[in-house]
Amino acid sequence: MITTGKLLSASSMPMEADEELKEETRVFKFGELQVEITPQKANIGAVIGLVFGILSWELAQGIQSIPESSLEYANDNALLLAKSLRAALLAVCFSSAFLSACTTVALFLLARQLKSKED
């Protein structure tokens, strides 16, 4: 076994092959779809995430600004249902804005990292 190990280590890949492997591009896979990640694409994704986050935040602020006293329904059950749906919609909008902010920051950092590796 020792001689086999020595033979295998002597015939290992040269250093040039290791350098070629390091220069591979990053690829995200979504099922059959493969997308190469570049700094420009990461920045575009970050801007899209920022816009989506702003829209989600504004929607949540608009929903929150509607006073609960202005809600008029036929009975108390409908009013309770409307209040709970309003709370669920607010939770979805605020969490969407938070996740968009996290995604935006992560994509900007990824773009910086990829740009520094290119230079």
- pLDDT above 70 covers a percentage of the chain that reads 79
Which has more confidence, 105 or 82? Answer: 105
The kind and range of the H/E element at 35 are strand 33-37
Sequence letter at residue 72: E
- List, as own/partner pairs, every contact residues 2-7 make where C-beta atoms lie below 8 angstroms and the sequence separation is at least 24, other chains included: none
User: Who wins on pLDDT, 112 or 29?
Assistant: 112
Structural domain boundaries of the chain? 2-118
Averaged over 29-54, what is the pLDDT?
Answer: 91
- Other beta carbons less than 10 A from residue 86's beta carbon: 15
Is 70 exceeded by the pLDDT of residue 11?
no
Q: Write the CB contacts of 56 (distance below 8 Å, at least 6 apart in sequence).
A: 93, 94, 96, 97, 100
> What pLDDT is attached to residue 17?
52
At residue 21, the pLDDT reads 47
Q: With 0.75 as the threshold, say if the pTM is over it.
A: no
